[in-house]
């Protein structure tokens, strides 16, 4: 390993915010060899507690990432070096594909601790957000993977305590995919350097008691130095990541470390929809629930948080499908329109003859005519029978004599119109009843052999006071 400046000439800064990091002197240079097999190629990134280099394992020809703890941290506190080693053990203890894999641990010739990790090809979420805010639809798949990794860490008794976009890595996963589609991005959680976890069997150390982390993403209980921190602190940081990704800014801004912490503890951030009016109200509710000041009001587990995001995503997909779904088309075919075909043609010896179908027979017309004829016959018969019965009926006897006084009053008025009563002649014994009722008609002349016409009766003499004199017999 090449020589360099001594430990006394190196500088270290406290992590005050994600973007407020003082420059540090690099301890490794290109070409340095660690543990006789790891070759340093170039610097990838650096932070307040460690730096990350691109390296290679010359024995197996594999690219690796080498994370080196700053020498001042190891010299000032033995706990810092122990936590650095515990990060490697914690990664193996969690056993999740969303936690960066630690391959080896060691010490540099200067006494600095280092970790050898899998090399990740991609970018951090911080790099992605620097290009501009993302939509909730783009963000949900990333955060769901992040919560899956956090759930595995919390189940292993480990709290990250330093979640931020810079510690969320989007690894390009090259798989067989359809042409024209982007590579799948696998989320990896980085930097468990200040993680709080239950003491491992090989390390019965003490828990961290100082306030460490990135101020913009700290929960209120972490900002006041609460000793009992659990997974809900990490879930608060995930809510701040959502806030930053959607609105393009962190909830609380400021430069001094203490001022940011005071605002985190005592102030309420602006609602996300005030900064992003187009944001869905239900997604805003998810962010505000994750960032609740009281831990009991937040999501209690990473799984519950992920279920809330999944439910929101399904609701959005259902609403989009309902909006874009075409109206159902009936499968029933409409009845075909009647087509009047021409009459078929028949070939004959003298040409083509068109055979026409016989005319349709109207069966209702004759039926109605028959009914009308029968009704007419019945009506005619009924009328003839009525006339026959009326002619054969005997003449009723004269009514009783009216009251003489009444006739005396009306006689002067009707006297000129009254005619004498004529008694009809008695019919011969052999005459039929019909003949009795028939009045003989006068003939124009008498023929030989005809019976002599009856001589009309002479009118009776009218007597004063005779009631029958006021009745006129019209007869037949």
Catalytic residues: 162
Task: Report d(CA 192, CA 86) in Å as an integer.
Answer: 9
Q: Which of 409, 422, 437 is nearest to 471 (CA)?
A: 422
Specify whether the CB–CB gap between 151 and 301 falls below 8 A: yes
CA-closest candidate to residue 217, choices 166, 267, 169, 162? 162
Q: How many CB atoms lie within 10 A of CB 314?
A: 10
Distance between CA 117 and CA 256 in Å, rounded? 34
Which residue is listed with tokens 């003499």? 461
Q: Do 112 and 71 form a contact (C-beta atoms < 8 A)?
A: yes
H or E element in which residue 159 lies: strand 158-159
Q: Is 306 exposed, middle or buried (0-12, 13-18, 19+ CB in 10 A)?
A: buried
Helix (H) or strand (E) holding 145: helix 136-155
Alpha helices in 393-441 (DSSP H): 404-414, 433-437
Q: Are strands 62-69 and 50-57 parallel, antiparallel or unpaired?
A: antiparallel
Task: Tell me the backbone φ, ψ of residue 319, rounded to 5 degrees.
Answer: -65, -40
- The pair of structure tokens assigned to 315 is 């609701």
Inter-residue contact 256 to 215 (CB < 8 Å): no
DSSP 8-state code for residue 59: T
* Kind and range of the H or E run holding 168: strand 168-173
Q: Is 361 helix (H, G, I), strand (E, B) or coil?
A: coil
Nearest to 164 by CA among 215, 97, 212: 215
Positive/negative CA dihedral, 154, 160, 165, 167 = negative
Q: Pull the structure tokens for residue 125.
A: 């979420």
Q: Are strands 196-197 and 158-159 parallel, antiparallel or unpaired?
A: antiparallel
Which long-range CB contacts under 8 A does 249-255 form with residues at least 24 apart? Answer: 249/275, 250/216, 250/217, 251/216, 251/291, 252/216, 253/216, 255/17, 255/20
């Amino acid at each position: 390993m090449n020589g360099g400046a001594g430990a006394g000439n190196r500088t270290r800064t406290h992590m005050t915010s994600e973007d407020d990091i003082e420059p540090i002197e690099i301890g490794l240079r290109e070409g340095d060899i660690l543990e006789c097999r790891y070759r340093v190629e170039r610097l990838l990134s650096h932070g307040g507690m460690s730096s990350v280099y691109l390296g290679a394992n010359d024995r197996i020809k594999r690219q690796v990432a080498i994370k080196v703890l700053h020498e001042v941290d190891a010299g000032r506190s033995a706990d810092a070096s122990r936590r650095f080693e515990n990060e490697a053990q914690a990664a193996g203890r969690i056993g999740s594909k969303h936690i960066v894999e630690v391959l080896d641990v060691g010490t540099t010739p200067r006494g600095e601790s280092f970790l050898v990790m899998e090399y990740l090809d991609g970018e951090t979420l911080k790099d992605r957000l620097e290009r501009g805010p993302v939509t909730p639809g783009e963000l949900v798949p990333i955060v769901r993977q992040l919560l899956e990794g956090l759930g595995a860490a919390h189940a292993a008794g480990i709290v990250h305590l330093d979640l931020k976009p810079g510690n969320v890595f989007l690894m390009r996963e090259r798989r067989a995919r359809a042409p024209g589609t982007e590579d799948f991005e696998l989320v990896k959680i980085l930097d468990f350097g200040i993680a709080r976890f239950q003491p491992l069997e090989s390390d019965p150390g003490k828990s961290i008691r100082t306030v460490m982390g990135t101020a913009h993403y700290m929960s209120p209980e972490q900002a006041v130095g609460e000793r009992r921190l659990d997974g809900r602190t990490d879930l608060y940081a995930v809510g701040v990541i959502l806030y930053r990704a959607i609105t393009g800014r962190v909830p609380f801004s400021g430069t001094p470390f203490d001022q940011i912490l005071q605002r985190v503890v005592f102030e309420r951030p602006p609602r996300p929809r005030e900064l992003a009016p187009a944001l869905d109200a239900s997604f805003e509710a998810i962010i505000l629930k994750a960032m609740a000041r009281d831990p009991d009001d937040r999501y209690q587990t990473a799984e519950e948080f992920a279920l809330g995001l999944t439910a929101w995503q399904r609701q959005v997909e259902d609403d989009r499908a309902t909006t874009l779904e075409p109206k159902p088309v009936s499968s029933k075919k409409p009845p075909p329109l009647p087509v009047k075909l021409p009459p078929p043609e028949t070939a004959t010896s003298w040409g083509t003859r068109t055979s026409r179908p016989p005319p349709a027979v109207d069966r209702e017309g004759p039926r109605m005519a028959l009914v009308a004829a029968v009704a007419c016959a019945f009506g005619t018969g009924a009328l003839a029978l009525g006339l026959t019965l009326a002619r054969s009926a005997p003449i009723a006897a004269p009514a009783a004599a009216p009251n003489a006084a009444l006739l005396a009053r009306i006689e002067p008025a009707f006297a000129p119109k009254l005619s004498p009563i004529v008694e009809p002649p008695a019919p011969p014994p052999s005459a039929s009843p019909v003949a009795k009722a028939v009045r003989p008609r006068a003939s124009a002349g008498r023929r030989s052999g005809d019976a002599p016409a009856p001589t009309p009766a002479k009118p009776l003499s009218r007597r004063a006071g005779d009631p029958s004199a006021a009745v006129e017999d019209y007869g037949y």
